[in-house]
Amino acid sequence: MLKKKWAASIALATAMFGGAAMAADITLYSGRGESFVQPIIEQFERDTGLKVNVRYGGTPELALLIQEEGRRSPADLFWGQDAGAMGALANAGLLATLPESLYNELPDIYTSETGQWVATSGRARVIAYSTTRVDEAEIPESVFDLVRPEFKGRVAMPPTNGSFQSFVTAMRVMHGDERTLEWLKGMAANDIVTFRNNTTAVQGIADGEADFALVNNYYLPRFVSADADYPVAQTFFAAGDVGNLVNVAGIAVLNSSRNQENAQKLVGFLLQPSAQQYFTQEANEYSVTPSAVSNPLLTDVNLVLERAPQMDLDTLADLEGTLRLMREAGLL
């Protein structure tokens, strides 16, 4: 008897907690980290009264998971770290076409030609370095130079990270698979220090585990705004180098979603001035709408675009090919 009562009350309790976690209006798969995403999602929930469930994971992980789940995917939206993953999903025919009214104010570089995903923020690839162990003159002209012996064991990379993989895809588009594979192999042979993500790679420099890191631009400012003496700085390679790739985080609605309308509300919300201001001010990224006030910690966007290589972001969709190459180089 006792046991039955127990079981009943526990079933009830589970249903309550479990239910609280499950009952949501929209499910978002986010390849962007929780610390960036959570505040803005909470704001959206307060503004609209809709409840959002977020599944966090790596951008490539979730992009491929959605492909595996296919039409049964529980996700309504996918928010990825880079254009490549968005393009891969668009090519797989899994994304819904967004109403043009959502994005017609955005500059062309921030929308996909397919109309199936939009950029939520822009970011640049940089090379971060230790201010205590690196002399600025040491920083090479090109990302290709990092295979040289003087960089052995000193360069940090996050090979499993979506932005990094997108950068490798850009290298393939610009320089071909052969040269890219050679570079990847050269880096592997040069004893790179691998990290799970950009944040820890930047921290790895401060913690003395590496001297350089190939990361996105917005991680370091978070540390610097909390601690002006943070012993890491970042800069660009020579103008036009693929190491200075400008990429975007993008969001899309899945065409299998049964909550198209609510899902589009979230897309619209992320392109609103308040959300865009958040991306610039708090997340240290570049806003995709012109209205946001620029952040003094960020390098001027015009300078960034001047340094960046010419790249059509819709061409970065071959995630599979990049993963294959990285596997061949022993990085994955």
Partner 1 sequence: MTLAMAPPLPVKSRRIPWLLLIPAVLVALSMLIPVVYLFLRAFQADVDQALALVFRSRNLDLLFNTLKLAAGVLAVATFLALPLAWIVTRVRLVGQGFWTTLAIVPLAIPGYVMAYSLLSIGGHYGFMSRVFGISMSNIQGYWGAVWALALYTFPYLFLNIRSALQGLDASLEESAQSLGYGRFDIATKIVIPQILPALMAGFLVIGLYVLGDFGAVALMRYDAFSYAIYNQYAGAYDRIYAAWLSLMLLALALAFVLIDVLLVRRRLSSVGSSSGRQVSKVSLGRYWLIAGPYMAFVYLASIALPAAMLLYWMLQVPVEAGLLTRVSMTFLNSAGAALPAALLAATLAIPICYLSVRYPSRLTALIERSTYIGYSLPPLTLALAMVFFALQTAFFFYQTLGLLIVAWTMATLVLAMGPIRSAIMQARPNIEEASYSLGYSGLQTFRFVLFPRLRRGTVAGIVLVFLFCMKELPITFLLSPTGFSTLAVSVFSRTAEGQMAEAAPFAVAILLFSSLSVGMMLRQEKSQ
**Cβ nearer to partner 1, comparing 145 with 282:** 282
Residue 93, Cβ density class (10 Å: 0-12 exposed, 13-18 middle, ≥19 buried): exposed
**Cβ nearer to partner 1, comparing 222 with 265:** 222
- Part in contact with partner 1 (CB under 8 A); list of ranges 55-63, 178-186, 248-256, 290-298: 55-63
Q: Which of 24, 50, 238, 297 binds partner 1 (CB under 8 A)?
A: 24
Under the binding rule (CB under 8 A), the answer on residue 21 touching partner 1 is yes
**Cβ nearer to partner 1, comparing 252 with 304:** 252
Q: Which of 45, 50, 65, 92 binds partner 1 (CB under 8 A)?
A: 65
Under the binding rule (CB under 8 A), the answer on residue 239 touching partner 1 is no
Distance between CA atoms of residues 139 and 123, nearest Å: 21
Which of 249, 252, 256 lies closest to 313, judged by CA? 249
Q: How far is the CB of 37 from partner 1 (least distance, A)?
A: 12
Q: Which of 87, 159, 250, 309 binds partner 1 (CB under 8 A)?
A: 159
Distance between CA atoms of residues 194 and 187, nearest Å: 11
CA distances 226 to 230, 327, 328, Å, are 9, 37, 40
Distance between CA atoms of residues 56 and 70, nearest Å: 18
Q: Which chain residues interact with partner 1 by CB under 8 A?
A: 6-7, 10-11, 13-14, 16-18, 21-22, 24, 27, 33-35, 53-58, 60-61, 64-65, 68-69, 72, 74, 159-161, 194-197, 199-200, 203-204, 206-209, 230-231, 323, 326-327, 330, 332
